[in-house]
Every structure is written in structure tokens, then in C-alpha cells.
Amino acid sequence: MPALHTGLIFAAVAAVASAAPTTDNTSAASSNILAKRAVCSYTGTINPTTVASDAPGCSSITFNGITVPKGQSLDLSKLTKGTTVTFQGHNTWLAQVGFDDSLLKIGGTDIIVTGAAGARLDGQGAQYWDGLGSNGPTPKPKFLAAHNLLGTSAINNLYLLDTPVQAVSINGCNGLKVNKMTIDNKSGNSLPANKMPHNTDGFDIGASSNIVIDGAIVDNQDDCVAINSGTGITFQNGQCNGGHGLSVGSVGHGSSTASNTVSNVQFLNNKISNSSNGIRVKSFVDGKGSIDKVTYKGITLSGITKYGILIEQNYNGGDLPKNVAPGTGVPITGLTIDNIIGGNGVVASGTNVAIECGNCSGWTWTSTVNVTGGKKFSCVGTPSAVPAGTCA
């Protein structure tokens, strides 16, 4: 038998002669071959080109303690419908400074990806971190591109360790569920400024619908989750530590109004601690698009250093720029802020609630919102639903 990292273990002896995936799905013979797709296992140093070629012919794929060579992606973006992928052991992507593709790509219909107990996916982030993230002159790879995952696809129990920059990009997906994912960049918190991680967003979501992220634990240095476009998105039962909190936007950056639409989003029962922001909704001052029916409910805030709740329509690359009036091209409508548990959740130098609106309406702001500990802000264009005394 060939070495596990280069060979295919077949589900039935009769299928051995038909190991290569077929491109003709119309005949009875090809249907029989697909029914007997291979069980594929890899360990040790892999050849990503071989894996990408083999993967469409596999019904299940197991990676156990693999090493991905420098400057290469593990490309599983063309999986056959119903494929299962399992990661076991400690899996490492060797670092190559200047590499700017995603380290891991996954796509397909009804795909199930699982991290076994104790498994780690190690992006070797410390080899890239320079305090600049994606803002510096040297490109850095994002970790997981979960693109075009459709149907009943799910990602369960993955543990991403030390991501170079952004951890998870969800784009072009419909129906994806992400359960109990851990994103762990806390090793970078004690490093000197020129060695710290930056732009290490947990989940960035765009052009996707009917997405549920449940029970995530994110230790990072940027947005825990940022929803840039899409509909029917839920982030619930999560723990976000050290980053920029739960964000919608920035919305409105780009020429297509459709790509700048966020609707029917829920953030439910999440804990945000030791972060610069708790809740943040932001649109570009000159942008076009819409933000509609976004709900924040059951959010617990502690150790927030800048803004407990920040809603701004004058974002221009920085929060609340001076002497920049809020725009009107991205209306924020149907926003619900409910049961926010943040008594003394903001540090004394921070701001409890900041709102700068040019086109905001139809909000619900319940009496169970309690964000204190910091300063009050002179809000602009605040909808009538926001209680008197919330702002200065």
C-alpha cells in the first residue's frame, strides 16, 4: 500500500480499478463509480497539488498531523457533494513571508468538515506578525476561505491557531452552519508592538445567506465577526475576547448597491470582554446600500476600552472622524438593541454609547439596555427610540 499521504484507500475492492474521478455523470457506469468514491487519508508532509487533484474523487478525507509546504494552499474548494473532511492531530502550514493566498480553501454542497478532539490547524502566525497586519507592505495569507459552501454544509469543532491575518472568510455561502469553532491568537497579545498580530478578524461574512455561527470562541485583535453583506445571518452563544467586538460593516464601500446590503441579522447571547468595542454598526460616509433588521440581544460587555455601543454613518476608514457629517446613502432601519448587560462594562476612559446618524429610523431600544462605566457622547441624529439620557 502506498504511503498514506500520497495514496487513496478505497471503500470497496471493486472500485480500485476505477479510482480516478469521472467527469461523465450520465451513464450507469459512472454513477456506479461515484457511489464507490475513495476514502482518502493524508499524514506527514503533503503535496497540495496532488490533494487538490484527488479530492473530488473522495467521499471522505482525513488529515492527521499534516504539514503543508511553504507558500502553498490546501485547496479543497471543488469537493464533490456530500464529502466529509476530518482534521486530526496537529496540522501545520509552514510560513512563507509574502505569501498572500488563503492557507485552506473549502467549497462544495452538503460538505461536513470536522475537527477531532484535540486537533489543531496551525497557521504559524508569529512568523508573519509585524504589528501592521494587512496594512503593511508585506502580504500575508488569510487562513480559511469558506467560499461557496451550499446546502447542508457544516464546519464543526475546528480549532484555528495563530492566524497570520483574517481567520475565516465566509463568502458566497447559503445554509452554512459553523459550530463550536475556536480562533486562538492570544499568544500574540504579549508580544512587542512590532511583533503583534493585526487585522486578525475572526469571521468576515459577505454575499451569503442563511448562515448560523454557534458557540464560537474568538481570541483575536480585530473584529470578532464583521458582516459586510448578506441576509439571514445569526451569530449566537459566542465568546469574543481582545478584539473589536460584534460588527456590521463597514457597509457601502464599493459600486454595487446589492453587494452593500445587510438584512435580517441576529447577534444573540454573546459575551464580549477586554475588547475595544462591544457593538458596532458602521457605514461609509459616502457609501450606498442599506442596513435593515439587525438585532443585538442578550449581549454581555466587560472591559470595553473605546465604545460600548457605536453606530456611525460617517466612517471614512476611522471611527467618528471629526468635522465629518454622517452620510445618508446607507440607511440603518429596523435596528433592535435589547437586553445589553454592560453595567460598568466600559472603562472610565471609554464611551458608553456613541451614535452619529444621517439616515436612521424604525429602531427598537429596550429598557433592558444598561451600558455604563465610561463617558457620555454628544450623539447626532439619534432616533426617538433611544432613551433620553443615553447620550450627553
Has residue 321 been placed in a domain?
A: yes
**Whole domain around residue 236: which residue ranges?**
223-392
Q: Are 167 and 201 in contact (CB under 8 A)?
A: yes
Residue 350: what are its φ and ψ, rounded to 5°? -90, -175
Size (the chain), residues: 392
Has residue 7 been placed in a domain?
A: no
One domain for residues 300 and 205? no
Q: Taking phi first (over 0 means left), then psi (-120 to 50 degrees means alpha), and beta for anything else, what does residue 67 get?
A: beta
Has residue 10 been placed in a domain?
A: no
At residue 314, the 3 state secondary structure works out as strand
One domain for residues 276 and 336? yes
One domain for residues 308 and 274? yes
Distances (CA, A) of 145 to 101, 140, 248: 9, 14, 20
CA atoms within 13 A on the CB side of 256: 7
Unique residue bearing C-alpha cell 453595567: 343
Has residue 1 been placed in a domain?
A: no
One domain for residues 154 and 82? yes
346: nearest Cα among 369, 372, 327, 324: 372
Unique residue bearing C-alpha cell 479530492: 55
List the CATH number of the domain containing 155: 2.160.20.10
Has residue 304 been placed in a domain?
A: yes
Has residue 33 been placed in a domain?
A: no
CA atoms within 13 A on the CB side of 35: 7
One domain for residues 71 and 188? yes
Q: Which helix (H) or strand (E) holds 132?
A: none
182: nearest Cα among 145, 212, 217, 155: 217
One domain for residues 162 and 235? no
Cell numbers linked to 38: 475513495
Residue 76 neighbours by CB distance under 10 Å: 24
The pTM of this model reads: 0.92
Going by their DSSP bridges, the two strands 38-45 and 159-161 should be labelled as: unpaired
One domain for residues 58 and 187? yes
Cell numbers linked to 55: 479530492
One domain for residues 257 and 151? no
One domain for residues 236 and 372? yes
* Structure confidence at residue 259 (pLDDT): 78
| Number of structural domains found in the chain | 2
Has residue 294 been placed in a domain?
A: yes
Q: Each residue's pLDDT tens digit in the chain (392 positions)?
A: 333 444 444 333 222 222 333 333 333 433 344 445 799 999 999 999 999 999 999 999 999 999 999 999 999 999 999 999 999 999 999 999 999 999 999 999 999 999 999 999 999 999 999 999 999 999 999 999 999 999 999 999 999 999 999 999 999 999 999 999 999 999 999 999 999 999 999 999 999 999 999 999 999 999 999 999 999 999 999 999 999 999 999 999 876 666 799 999 999 999 999 999 999 999 999 999 999 999 999 999 999 999 999 999 999 999 999 999 999 999 999 999 999 999 999 999 999 999 999 999 999 999 999 999 999 999 999 999 999 999 99
Has residue 326 been placed in a domain?
A: yes
Annotated catalytic residue within 5, 147, 198, 244 = 244
CA atoms within 13 A on the CB side of 143: 31
One domain for residues 385 and 269? yes
Concerning whether 198 is annotated as a catalytic residue, the answer is: no
One domain for residues 83 and 186? yes
One domain for residues 190 and 83? yes
At residue 279, the 3 state secondary structure works out as strand
Q: What is the DSSP string of 72-100?
A: --EEETTPPTT-EEEEESEEEE---TT--
